[in-house]
Structure 1
Amino acid sequence: MKSIVIFNNKGGVGKTTLLCNIASYLKIRKGKRVIVIDADPQCNATTYMFPYSDIENIYKSGNTLFKIIKPLQRGKGYLKSDLPIITSPNFQVDVIPGDTQISLTEDFLSKDWLDGKTGDYRGLQTTLLFRDLLEKLNADYDYVFFDVGPSLGALNRSVLAASDFFIVPMSSDIFSLQALENISKSLNEWKFQLERGLEDYKAKEKEDFEINNKIIKWNLQFAGYITQQYTAKTINGKKQPVNAYEKIIRRIPSAIQKHLVANNIIQLRSNKLGEVPNLNSLIPLSQSSSAPIFNLKSENGVVGAHFNKVKEYDNTIKSIVSNLQLNID
């Protein structure tokens, strides 16, 4: 099983739309066992993948990600009851729904992180709550995707500390470039602090910190980037970004190499997984239908030239998924 976070410190880069469509493509087209964990307090992935009429019932049931965090807050350790998993009818992936209440856990996670990085058991247990969740999911899935917000706060730190890989979606603007340095600095600091905490725990307790009989270590690796949201023009039959975007796009590879690839242990087949041009009205159609873009049909409101756009996006996601699998499998 591979766990993957799609993350950028800058918001508005199309992260959730990309994640949900990659996850759904792996399920529908590739036949993989896939689950999405909505760890963004804005709950955008949950809202996207389920009809609006279902959302209220999801939250009334209490079967959300907050159910997993709540026992830790109450000092009862990791969740021992069934996980809150439901299936998206159109995306066809399993989902642990998000919950706005998880935004209230930042202080709790921050406090226990301070203890965890000094080797305290309770602090490490809290910090690694998502590693415990991944162990519970390990036998049932090929891929786990985490949707997270754009912050470098305690919640995202816990998700990234537990995961195997992260993907960076890049919009074609200067702020996405600047965010790369923030990500690199934060990940390097978190890795150092967690590893020191694990070493201190071992020194005090004379044993390694384990979850499900597995010794815990920092596993996170960069899996590639995707450029998004540029306006394309056609030159000699080939689509290219217009000049204003192209100037930024040309700077992305070197920034990625400097801030993210240089820290990797694994060697990637390609740092760039693909690029997604402007999709115009396909995104609102996809959102209103709670259906993946590559699988939109006439009953979802697709008409005329939209069909070609859907086909184009299908090919785009196919290529991105193929490159991702080459990098991490």
Structure 2
Amino acid sequence: MTKSVAFFNNKGGVGKTTLICNIGAVLAQEYGKRVLIVDADPQCNATQYILQEKLVNSVYANPDKAFTINSVVHPLAVGRGYSGRFSPTEGGEYGVDLILGDPRLAIAEDLLSGDWKDATSGSTRGLRTTFLFSDLISRCGNYDFVLFDMGPSLGAINRSVLLAVDFFLVPMSIDIFSLRAIENITQVLDKWRRQLRVGLELNENPGDLSFIRRPESLKFCGYITQQYKAKKDKHGKVQPVAAYERIRAQIPDIIEANFISKLQPEHSEVNYELGSVENLSSLIPMSQQQRRPIFAISAQGTHNSKARKTKKVFAAMADRLMENIEELQ
């Protein structure tokens, strides 16, 4: 059965795209999973990360001919209902398929914001617009995993994604702003859920909404920390620097208080820390330039050694992710 996971944090610069592309690649290449990445960020970072520049330029020279995320949204915007098209692009060296990003997705914020007001009043049209990504996921039965890359906002696009998926995963940097972002996510999820429950109760045509997920269905499946500066202790073991360690020590309690106790207290025994990644700033540009997963790039010397080690890191995260999904079902 297809599992859908949103990689989400309303704080930017936490490496969402790097993680989703490399974890997706590991799931496909090491675990033999069929993976679809949906680039639901108007900045199109995942699309640029995965696809060769020549192909990207070709697609966006004639965007109306390509199947992009805008192909999913546009028919609704012009009153034609859900899109009948479904033609993901092969993701090259990553071994995944990709629904291309599209800058025009940003225009959908107005549509989704307006119809959200109608949705919370019980309007069938408003609810169908809000759950457009549920319809998309329903057409992904050939995939084991559908992974959504999202922009850093709490806007209408991300709301529609989060209300549609099974799980959300939070990449985070080790800083005070990421801790505050977790609190923001919890507050807004609670608000959206309450508003949606009212809309569903007021709706008079439930038979037209059989595909819609209940707001309680979304589960938190874990977090990944990264972007700290590492150093070695006297035993040669890599350790985070003290300033980052003080913040890192707060993360489990913040996660417990905001996500676990409020969203899924019955699953408090699950290990939600999926892993941690060292600062990969020297490797990410090479990965982007070569359009390959970090663990598969061509590099020399220490860069090559460091790149190869990342496969174990990403594989461990993918393994923990799958274990958590299994436990949370």
Amino acid paired to 2:191: E
- Structure-to-structure mapping, 1:177-256, within 5 angstroms: 177-201=179-203, 204-205=204-205, 207-211=206-210, 214=211, 216-218=213-215, 219-235=217-233, 236-256=235-255
- Structure-to-structure mapping, 1:89-168, within 5 angstroms: 89-137=92-140, 139-168=141-170
- C-alpha spacing 1:318/1:196, structure 2 compared with 1 (3 Å): same
**Structure 1 unaligned residues grouped into runs of 5+:** none
Asked whether the equivalents of residues 134 and 212 of structure 2 are also in contact (C-alpha less than 8 Å), the reply is no
Asked whether the equivalents of residues 209 and 216 of structure 1 are also in contact (C-alpha less than 8 Å), the reply is no
Offset of residue 28 of structure 1: 0.7
State how far apart, in whole Å, the 2-side matches of 1:23 and 1:157 are.
22
State how far apart, in whole Å, the 2-side matches of 1:307 and 1:253 are.
33
Offset of residue 263 of structure 1: 2.4
Residue of structure 1 equivalent to 2:258: 259
Instruction: Give the aligned length.
Output: 318
Asked whether the equivalents of residues 166 and 220 of structure 1 are also in contact (C-alpha less than 8 Å), the reply is yes
Residue of structure 2 equivalent to 1:67: 71
Offset of residue 208 of structure 1: 4.6
Pair 1:83-2:86 in alignment:
yes
- Normalising by structure 1, what TM-score? 0.94
Identity of aligned residues (%): 46
After superposing the two structures, state which structure 1 stretch, 264-273 or 26-35, moved more.
Answer: 264-273
**Structure 2 unaligned residues grouped into runs of 5+:** none
Offset of residue 58 of structure 1: 1.8
State how far apart, in whole Å, the 1-side matches of 2:109 and 2:212 are.
26
Asked whether the equivalents of residues 198 and 209 of structure 1 are also in contact (C-alpha less than 8 Å), the reply is no
SS of the residue aligned with 1:279?
Answer: coil
1:194-215 deviation digits (Å, cap 9, x = unpaired): 12211111xx23x45534xx45
* 4+ residue segments displaced more than 4 Å: none
State how far apart, in whole Å, the 2-side matches of 1:294 and 1:264 are.
35
SS of the residue aligned with 1:260?
Answer: helix
SS of the residue aligned with 1:230?
Answer: coil
1:118-176 deviation digits (Å, cap 9, x = unpaired): 11010000000000000011x20000000000100000000000000001111011111
Asked whether the equivalents of residues 295 and 311 of structure 2 are also in contact (C-alpha less than 8 Å), the reply is yes
Offset of residue 107 of structure 1: 0.7
Amino acid paired to 2:284: I
SS of the residue aligned with 1:146?
Answer: strand
Residue of structure 1 equivalent to 2:28: 27
Amino acid paired to 2:137: L
Offset of residue 100 of structure 1: 0.2
Amino acid paired to 1:116: A
Amino acid paired to 1:140: N
Asked whether the equivalents of residues 7 and 169 of structure 2 are also in contact (C-alpha less than 8 Å), the reply is yes
State how far apart, in whole Å, the 2-side matches of 1:306 and 1:215 are.
47
State how far apart, in whole Å, the 2-side matches of 1:246 and 1:216 are.
39
Offset of residue 260 of structure 1: 1.1
Amino acid paired to 1:64: T
